[in-house]
Chain A
Amino acid sequence: MNPNPHHLLEINDLGIQFGGLTALEHVTFSMDPGEIVGLIGPNGAGKTTVFNLITGIYQPTIGSITLGGQTLNGRKTYKIFQSGAARTFQNIRLFKKMTVLDNVRIAAHNQMDYNPLVGALRLPGYWRDEADTTYRAMKMLDIFSLTEHAGEMASSLPYGQQRRLEIARALISNPKLLLLDEPAAGMNPTETQALMATIREVRDRFGVAILLIEHDMRLVMGICERLVVLDYGQVIAKGTPAEIRQNERVVKAYLGGSAV
C-alpha cells in the first residue's frame, strides 16, 4: 500500500512485542488533516501503546508510521513533537512545581532560538524571543480560560483545569496532530460537556487533527467523525460512530463473548 499524500497520519501494519508478549499487531489506519478520530476499546486493548508508538516513546517491532509524508520510525520523541505530533497523558503529566505559564512556555522551547550565552547575558535576542513566546502563551491560556491562573503552580489547579492546561501546552507548538489520552477521565458530566465543546473549538480554531482515546461513549459518539476499535492488540472495526454502534464484534468485545 503506497502512502496516500492526502492523509496526515498513516499507520501501516504496526506491531510491537514486549519480550514474548504481542501488545499490538497488524494495526492499520489513517487520518486526514483536521479530522477527529476516536480510538476505543476495552482496557488493555493497546490504545495507549498506539500513542506511545506514534510519539516515539516505544519503537515498533514492525510496521510504519508516517506523519505528513515523513516517517516517524526511529525518531526521538522530542523530534516527533517538533515534526507536529503533540500529546496529553492518561494520568496528567504537568510540570507540577512550575507555573501554569511556564508549563506552556516549555513546549514553545523550539520556537525560540537564542543560545545559552544570549540568555545568560540577557542580550536583545532573549528579550525578543521571550516577549514573543510569553505573548503567545498568554493567548493560549486565554483560549483555555486559564489566564488568571498564569502565575500559579500547575499542581494548585483543580483537576479539570489541569487537563485543559495539558491541552494548551500541547497546542502551543502548532501541531498538525493532537493525541488526547482519555481527556474526560475523572470528569463529571458537566465538565465532559464543556470538554467536548473545547475539543471541537480546538479543531476549528487550530485546524489540527485529533486522535483521542476515551471510555466515555457519549463524548466519543458525540464528537468523533470516525472510530477505530482495538481489542487484544488488533483493530476489530473501523467506521463512523453509527456503524460502530451496530458492529457485532464491537458489542461482543465490550459486553463479553456470549452477548450478541
Chain B
Amino acid sequence: MNAATRNSWILNAIALAALSAAFLLPIQSGAVNAYIVGLLITALINIIMATSLNLVCGLLGYLALGHAAFMGVGAYAAALVSIHWNVPLSFPLALLVGGIAAAITGVIIGVPALRLRGDYLAIITLGFGEIVRIIMNNMPILGGARSLRGIPRITTVPVAYAVVIICVTLMFTLGRSRHGRAILSIREDEVAATSSGIPVTYYKILAFTLAAFFAGIAGGLYAHYMGVLNPNRFNFDRSIEYLVMVVLGGMGSITGAIIAAIVLTLLPELLRGLSNYRMLIYSLALILMMLFRPDGLLGTAEFSLASIGRLFRRTRRSAQNEGRDHSES
C-alpha cells in the first residue's frame, strides 16, 4: 500500500466516522420520532439493494428484473433462523444464512440464465422473481399469504447502518480487485474479455451470486425490522423500484446508487403533503432525470473526497493556463 492510498483510506475513515456521528447521535438521543426512524431504516435497506443490483446492472451490464426475489429468499431464510434457532449471536448468523440462501438461489438461476444476453436475461429474471413469490405464497412453513409472524424485531438504525457500511465497503473493494475488473471488462466488451483470458461465464455467475448474497442480507435486515413477512412485499414492482434507483444513480456508480436510494426512499414521503399528486411528481422527476441526465446522477463515476481535491486543482490549473494564454497573445 503506497502513501497516497493509505492517506486516502485514512481520510475516508475519518469522514465516515464524522458522518456516522452526525447521523447516529440524534437518533440515539431519541430526538427523532418512530416515523423518521422507520424511514431511515428503509433507506438503509434500499441502499444495500441498490448497490447490490448495481453489481449486475452497473458492473456486469446485464438487466435483471428479479432482485426483490433474492431479498425475499434472504428475508425468509433469516427469519426462520431467528424464529427456530435461539442461540447467542443468532442475528448476525441469521443475516449470513439469509445472504447464503439468496446466493445459492442466485447460482441456481444464474447458471442457465446467464448463457443468454440482454433482454432474454431480463425476461428470465422477471419470471424467476414471480416463481419465487408464488412458492413463498404456497409454502406452509413460510406462513404463505397469511404472513410469517413472530420474527424478533432487532434491526435498529445503528444496526442497519453498520451492516450497510460493511456491505458497501465489501462491494467497493470487490469492484476494485482483479475480480471486479474482470466483471467490468465483460460489460465493456465480452469478446475482448474472453480473448484476454477472462473466464466470462464464471464472472457473470460470480457477479450475479454476489448481488444475490447482498440482497439476501438486506432481506434479513428487512425481516428483523418488520417482524412480519408477506411474499407480496417481494414482487415485480419492488424489483423495478431497485432498478430505477440504479439507473437514476448512474449504472456502475456505487455512490450514485446510494444517493438515488436515499432520494427515492425519501422523495415520496416528502411529497406526502401533496397527497394525490405525489406519485405524479415522482414519475415526472424520473422522466426529467432521464431526459437531461441519461447516464444517471453520477454516470459511472464515484463521488470521493479525493476527486473534489482534484477538481479544485484542475480548476486552478486551467485558470493559470488561461492566464498564460492571454499573456502570450
Contact = CB atoms under 8 A, between A and B. Distances in A.
Q: Do chains A and B interact in one complex?
A: yes
Nearest to A102: B181
B311 interface: no
A81 B196 contact: yes
B185 A106 contact: yes
| Chain A binding surface, main DSSP class | helix
Interface of B: 1, 170, 173-174, 177-182, 184-185, 188-189, 191-200, 206, 210, 300
Contact of A109 (B1, B189, B191, B197): B197
7 contacts: A57-B195, A77-B194, A81-B196, A95-B184, A96-B189, A98-B181, A98-B185
Given A102-B181, A106-B182, A109-B181, 14 more contacts: A77-B194, A78-B199, A86-B196, A87-B195, A93-B191, A94-B192, A95-B184, A96-B188, A97-B188, A116-B206, A116-B210, A119-B173, A120-B177, A173-B197
Nearest to B1: A127
Q: Which of A76, A87, A95, A112 has the most CB of B within 10 A?
A: A95
B167 to A, nearest CB: 11
Given A95-B184, A98-B188, A77 B195 contact: yes
A239 B166 CA distance: 63
Contact of A94 (B189, B198, B200, B210): B189
A76 B210 CA distance: 25
A116 B197 contact: no
Interface string A128-164: 0110010000000000000000000000000000000
A55 B195 contact: yes
Nearest to A154: B188
A202 to B, nearest CB: 17
A148 to B, nearest CB: 16
A110 B170 CA distance: 22
Contacts, number: 95
A221 interface: no
Q: Which of B179, B182, B195 has the most CB of A within 10 A?
A: B195
A11 interface: no
B197 A89 contact: no
Nearest to B189: A93
Interface residues of A, number: 37
Contact of B173 (A94, A112, A121, A170): A121
Complex A-B, nearest 7 residue pairs according to Cβ-Cβ distance, in ascending order: A119-B177, A95-B188, A93-B192, A81-B197, A107-B196, A77-B194, A120-B174
B178 A114 contact: yes
Contacts of B182: 106, 109
Given A57-B191, A98-B184, A106 B1 contact: no
A82 interface: yes
A126 B173 CA distance: 11
A129 B178 contact: yes
Nearest to B180: A119
A169 interface: yes
Contacts of A97: 188, 300
A126 B177 contact: yes
A105 interface: yes
Contacts of B193: 95, 106
Given A78-B199, A94-B192, A98-B185, A120 B173 contact: yes
A205 interface: no
A95 B197 contact: no
B281 to A, nearest CB: 33
A119 B179 contact: yes
A14 B2 CA distance: 51
Contacts of A93: 189, 191-192, 195
Interface in A166-221: 169-170, 173
A89 to B, nearest CB: 7
Nearest to A129: B178
Contacts of A110: 197
Contact of B185 (A55, A95, A116, A121): A95
A107 B198 CA distance: 8
Q: Which of A78, A98, A107, A122 has the most CB of B within 10 A?
A: A78
A126 B178 CA distance: 9
Nearest to B192: A93
Contacts of B173: 119-122
B200 A78 contact: yes
A95 B192 contact: yes
A240 B270 CA distance: 77
Q: Which of B1, B180, B196 has the most CB of A within 10 A?
A: B196
